[in-house]
Amino acid sequence: MSLFSRIKDLLTGRIYDEEDDYGYDYDDDRDYFDDGYMREDIPEVKVDRSEVDMSSRHLRQRYVKNLCDLMAECTNEIDTASKEYRYVTDYLRDCEIIEALSSGGDTNLMAAAQNVIHLMKKNKKHTGKLGRISEAKYNHMTSIAPDMPKALNDLKEHEEYKEVVRDDLKTLEGEKAVRHFKRSEAHMKQISCRNVAIITIFAMIFVMLVLLLMQILFAMNVIPGFIMASALGAITLAVSFSSFVNSKSEERRMRNQLNQIIGKQNTVKIRFVNIQNLITYEYEKYHVNSSEELEYQWNLYLQEKKERELLHRMSTDLAAAEERFRLELMNANVNYPMLWLHQAEAVVDHREMVELRHELVARRQGLRKRISYNNENREAAKNQVKDLVTKYPNYATEILDIVESYE
């Protein structure tokens, strides 16, 4: 069932929301993850219709479509993060399986891992050009090698896209400020026109009273004065009224444009936060601070790997040991036996295993924050749609049709 089918069912009361179940119970009460990026100045997503004229079909439909776009953006991000979450969770299960076997005295797995470590250390003595990167960095790059160079290209694209979205936010913020100023200016002009009209009316009354008094007291002919005062007053009132109407129309136009800009801003803010969280997660995942650093380490890794492969071909013993280790891992029902070929130290050294688990827990916590952030915004938008249907039953069919069109 698609997201928008579920929303439509929720709106009609046929199903209830269910809490997400990631299917893995792991003790991550201790926060090993440096979530400083979550404390950055994250733009708040506004889901507010206080200034939307719901009687306008165009504005109403645009508002509902903005909500649907926001929900779609959040859903796509949740799907991506959830897939990575399951991968990390399976990796954590591998840690538990291996630790259980180690503590249970599985000598075959331990012996296979120790043999791999021994042969790798022995072959390392014969290297001449090795050592461009540390062993820990090499093992890490090996674990992400299946994702490269696509991961590097994706990271570069994400960094470039972040700057594009940041520029879009700045542009929209500037446009919003302009619309705010013009709307305020039009409102002040209406007040000025109203004041001019009031002053003109009182002035006309005063002049006519003076003229009437002059006629009574001095028997003067004040008819030309009456005509002139009336004409000037009428012209002034007509100009003021015309200016007032134009200002009122300008204020309404600026308000509508402002609502449209805010709707766009909501979607762009969601994209900015998502791309920022995604980039921060990728930095954490690849142990880098930029795509340039990842590219530099990847090039070093490729050179290192070439030399190691040359050495590896000279040692059939190591290949046989790795195959035995892989078979032991498969027999233990490990999810990713190939990854553990380069994590043999963690199998025999509890401290290495603890470090690996801490890293995976940190990555999972980062994914949970991404999923939680998008869930909150999706729920907020969904609740707005439900509230629209409740408060405006006359438009319920139209709103549900718009939601259904996003399936």
DSSP 268-315: HHHHHHHHHHHHHHHHHHHT-SSHHHHHHHHHHHHHHHHHHHHHHHT-
CB atoms within 10 A of CB 387: 11
The domains of the chain are located at: 1-26+57-126+314-407, 150-302
**Per residue of the chain (407 residues), what is the pLDDT tens digit?**
454 454 555 444 443 343 343 444 444 433 333 444 344 444 555 555 556 667 677 887 888 888 888 888 999 999 999 999 999 999 899 999 888 887 776 678 888 888 888 888 877 776 666 667 788 888 888 888 888 888 888 888 888 888 888 888 888 888 888 877 877 887 888 788 888 888 888 888 888 888 788 877 777 777 787 788 788 878 887 887 787 788 777 778 778 878 888 888 888 888 888 888 888 888 888 888 888 888 888 888 888 888 777 776 767 788 888 888 888 888 888 888 888 888 888 888 888 889 989 999 999 999 999 999 999 998 888 888 888 888 888 878 888 888 887 76
Instruction: DSSP letter for 44, please.
Output: P
pTM, two decimals, is: 0.53
One CATH from 2.60.40, 1.25.40, 3.90.550, 1.10.287 for 150-302: 1.10.287
Cα separation, 361 vs 26, whole angstroms: 9
